[in-house]
Chains A and B, each alone.
Chain A
Amino acid sequence: MERMTRAEPLIELDGVSKWFGAFQVLRGVNLRVAEGERIVICGPSGSGKSTLIRCINRLEEHQEGRVVFAGRELGADTTDLAQVRREIGMVFQEFNLFPHLTVLENCMLGPTRVLGMTPADARGRAMEFLDRVRIPEQAGKHPGQLSGGQQQRAAIARSLCMRPRVMLFDEPTSALDPVMIKEVLDVMNDLAQSGMTMIVVTHEMGFARTVADRVAYMDEGSIIECLPPDRFFANPADDRTKRFLSQILSH
């Protein structure tokens, strides 16, 4: 409960709207995420979950409302976006590792080219995080030689090497089969234990129940409700949430 008392949220979305052409993807989304908080976002396909978290590091530009990270509003006039982005780690559904580099080089690229670390220091840091995601023995391989689960953990390590203040996950386990899902979720659990601020788009309700501080349900571009997991799963207020939960939990 201590974190609730902090005045300044790390991330603040305030009435964020976005259109793709005439189609409105986000409809005035509000969300405040405190330092150390873990948010899980779920909702049907096409409801705008990916778009929402991509607005946080401005891979997508919003047209209305405010996106604030660490007290700074991000907009068209933000010239040092790279500066902001290096503090926001992002993990994609399809891993998006750099195929021409080894896993180790993937992890060293940011630290050497963005943070200006020496190769030796960067290598040390990369190995430390590859250890944390339990694939130190894969460091010398190229992404194509790894299993999906190993690739996703490498991608997590690549982001962590920047020592970000928040980690965004966009359906990190959706492209994986069950054994690999567990490997990745275990790593994400560890990460949560370490106090990392996380925003996770996922349909892994077990993960949401045990790790999340709040679970948000999104539909048609709005966050319908955002509650602590016990209340979210026990008695959601909205009918759409109830229907979604009954569908997804029956699997």
Chain B
Amino acid sequence: MIPGSKRGRLGWIDAAVLAAVATAVVAVGYRVDSVLEYRWDWSAIPNSLYRWDQEAGRWVPNLLMQGFFTTIRLAVLSMIPAALFGAVFGVLRTTGRLFPRLLSRTYVELIRNIPPLVFIFIFYFFISSQIMPILGVEDLVRGASPPTLRSLELVFGPAALIPNVISGVLCLAMFQGAYMTEIVRAGIQSIPKTQTEAGLSIGLSRWELWRRVILPQALRRVIPPLAGQFITLVKDSSILSLISIQELTFLAMETAVSTTRVFEVWITVAGLYFCLCSLLSLAFDRLEKSAVAART
């Protein structure tokens, strides 16, 4: 079938599905409205997003938007080490040597077979008690000169929360890295052996073969699933709320408690996540299409 040839035409199955969805929405709305007798009150929401700062004389982000920005920071910052873990362990997985393969395999299996929440509790304890003192992040922030501090704040957010954000980033990167490892491994292994044979038979060294033949082809196959994993990473960053990283979900819990508008707050938060993730997937789709167009 030609892709897109059916687009825009509704069959009877589509109509049936549409009707079922509409019925469900109406039913839920009816129950919330008349059975649950929930009194909707959205008046507290705008103020939880932005508030008027009397001293500064301007609007500043309040808890929800602060959390939203922290979530974006966390996602972008952890993407880099996560991709790095994925690349390194993914490549190790495909080498001929036993030890690197075993190491990478252990990493992936450990993380895939432990609930993310449990992993993060354990790992966070380890990071905050062992790694952070070694990195000396707190001393660094305390001793930083104002210009350095300003650029640090630009990347990591408010100075007081920098150690907190870094721990969150490491946790997230560590556990997303395992999934990226699998993506990278699959990408490399999807390049047929015949490509290796063709490369070897013109006398390429192992390194040149890898660099000029395998890697460029693997990259192309790996980018779309990695983009998908990045969106998963954004959503999964919400579990960092349980180790008190002050991202969107964490601050939403606080806001829900302080305003007592539980539904309104969580629906707003869901909307924020939805916007962020759908914008990202739209952007990735565009990128991919232009990459495909550039190739042919």
Residues of chain A at the chain B interface (Cβ within 8 Å): 57, 59, 81-83, 85-90, 92, 94, 96-100, 109-110, 113-114, 142, 145, 155, 158-159, 162
Contacts and interface: CB of A to CB of B under 8 A. Distances in A.
B201 A85 contact: yes
Contact of A89 (B197, B201, B213): B201
A114 to B, nearest CB: 4
Given A98-B213, A99-B217, A100-B216, A110 B203 contact: yes
A86 B203 CA distance: 4
Contacts of A142: 295-296
A117 to B, nearest CB: 13
Contact of B202 (A59, A81, A145, A158): A158
A162 B202 contact: yes
Interface stretch (B204-212, B269-277, B283-291): B204-212
B200 A59 contact: yes
B145 interface: no
A78 B198 CA distance: 19
A82 B212 CA distance: 15
Given A96-B195, A155-B198, 17 more contacts: A57-B201, A59-B197, A82-B205, A85-B203, A87-B203, A89-B201, A94-B194, A96-B194, A98-B212, A100-B216, A100-B220, A113-B204, A114-B202, A114-B204, A114-B205, A162-B202, A162-B203
B204 A110 contact: yes
Interface residues of B, number: 19
23 contacts: A57-B200, A57-B201, A59-B197, A82-B204, A85-B200, A85-B201, A86-B202, A89-B201, A89-B202, A92-B194, A92-B197, A96-B198, A97-B198, A98-B199, A109-B204, A109-B212, A110-B204, A142-B295, A142-B296, A145-B296, A158-B202, A162-B202, A162-B203
A82 B194 contact: no
Contacts of B195: 96, 98
Contacts of A87: 203
Interface of B: 194-195, 197-205, 208, 212-213, 216-217, 220, 295-296
A113 B208 contact: yes
B6 to A, nearest CB: 27
Contacts, number: 67
Contacts of A155: 198
Nearest to B201: A90
A96 B197 contact: yes
Nearest to A145: B296
A109 B205 CA distance: 12
A98 B220 CA distance: 13
Contacts of B200: 57, 59, 81-82, 85
B201 A98 contact: no
A85 B196 CA distance: 13
Nearest to A84: B203
A145 B201 CA distance: 24
Nearest to B217: A100
Nearest to B207: A113
A92 B198 contact: yes
A92 B197 CA distance: 9
A155 B195 CA distance: 12
A155 B205 CA distance: 19
A108 B259 CA distance: 68
B155 to A, nearest CB: 35
B278 to A, nearest CB: 31
B212 A113 contact: yes
Contacts of B204: 82, 109-110, 113-114
Nearest to B200: A85
A90 B196 CA distance: 13
Contacts of A159: 201-202
Contacts of B216: 100
User: What are the 9 closest A-B residue pairs judged by CB atoms, nearest first?
Assistant: A86-B203, A96-B198, A110-B202, A90-B201, A114-B203, A85-B203, A96-B194, A113-B208, A82-B203
